[in-house]
Each structure stands twice: as C-alpha cells, then as structure tokens.
Amino acid sequence: MTRIGRQLSIGKTDNTSDQRTPRKRLRLIPTDVRESFVPVIPAKAVQRQNEWDLTRIAQNRPRAEGSPIEVKGTVRNENGTLLRGALIEIWNANHYGRYRHVEDHSGLKLDENFFGIGRVITDEYGNYRFWTISPGAYLARPDIGRWRPKHIHLSISCGSSRLITQMYFPNEPNNASDPMAVLMGDSFDRNLGKPYETIIPEVDRGYDFDIVVGGKNAIFFE
C-alpha cells in the first residue's frame, strides 16, 4: 500500500502516528513566494513583561518548585542568517512532570507557582534567553509504560514560518526510546540542550540551544 507523506508507525505499540500525519505529500512553498504574501509577526507588540521568566507567575510571587534553569541560543534560517524578531513560545511540565492543562490526567502534583507557559522574542542579533523550571519526566502512555524524558516544548514563529519542536536534556534515561528521538536518529543531537555552568544566582544551570528553522541543518519539526 502506498503511504505517501505518512509517517509509518514507530513500533508495534504506536497506534497514533498513522492518524496524526498528513495523508498527502507535503509541498514546499519557495521562500520568495512565502515571504511575499504572509505578514511578518509584529514582534515587539506581542511580548509582555516577564513572559520570558517561567519560574514565577508574576514578579513578587514565590519561585516555583524545582531547579530553575536558563535556556539561551540563536535562531537562524536555512541560509544561516540570524533571525531577529522571531517569536518563541515555550511550555513545559512542572518539577513533578505535570502540565497545567485539562488533558493532563496524570494526577501528579500541581505547583501553584508554576504556570508553565512563556514567550520570548529574539533580539536584533537573533539571540533569545528564558528561564524555566527543569521539567520532570512523565509517563505519557500508562497503558504501555512509555515515559517521556525531560523536555521543553518550543514553537518558533518567524516571518511566514512556524516550527514546533522540543528541547531534550543530555543523558536522560528515556532519551533513546523516545518516539521523537527515534525519528530524529543521528540528528537527535541538534535537539539537545548543551549544559553550561552559570554564575547567575537565580538559576542552577544553563543550556545552550541553537535553533535552525529550515534547510539541511534544521532542528526536528514535530
């Protein structure tokens, strides 16, 4: 059977990839055409104060539970050009592996000081930086015992493009068996945050995560 454009099941227990992927072959719209008819995101207009700091719901509120971390990097397009004004939306589970979302039925602990959603916009040199709480791993499929390793969800909007992806953490026990990591194969490293020591008192550790949104060096498009 021809399955043009569809993602084949990752393994015997994967019963969702087939329904969640396009039925038809994807068509790439040339960049020149895309840029000509799609409005550019009004960067500065949409960012509110402190949205880059997910470790507090608001200034003067207590810090969320868990280990605060910094994530920073650059955003580039397929030609290697640094992208200013790219909107990065961030969401991750709390310290216990729980999302503040109606579809999270895990029963794990919510943290009243962690909302888990933030936004940041790249500066004129394509740099971004945000703080969050190091997320907990969670049991995504209790029926088959599949865990998701620690990860941060990211949506990157720049010009006419939007890419949704995840940043992983090195040396996590469930990285190798994660369905997305399996799809990435050898390019998994591109989606790994690279740890660095930091002397900033507000965070325990930093992670470099450079994002390429197109071309052969692109990070994984979820």
99 is known as an active-site residue? yes
State the residue for tokens 């589970």: 93
**What is the rounded distance in angstroms from the CA atom of residue 21 to the CA atom of residue 6?**
5
Which residue in 128, 138, 168, 207 is the catalytic one?
138
Which residues are CB-neighbours of 157 under 8 A, at least 6 positions away? 41, 86, 87, 88, 89
Residue 168: active-site member: no
Please give the Cα distance from 79 to 101 (Å, whole number).
37
Return the half-sphere exposure (C-beta side, CA atoms, 13 A cut-off) of residue 14. 16
Handedness of CA 104, 106, 112, 114 (dihedral sign): negative
**Catalytic residue check, 101:** no
Catalytic residue among 56, 76, 98, 99: 99
Among 56, 76, 98, 151, which one carries the catalytic annotation? 151
Which of 56, 148, 168, 207 is catalytic? The answer is: 148
Tokens (6 digits) for 53: 């700091």
Q: Is 153 a catalytic residue?
A: yes
CA distance 13 to 19: 14
Measured distance CA(201)–CA(21) in Å, rounded: 43
The CA distance from 11 to 98, in Å, is: 26
SS3 state at 31: helix
Per the annotation, the verdict on 138 as an active-site residue is: yes
Catalytic (active-site) positions = 99, 138, 148, 151, 153
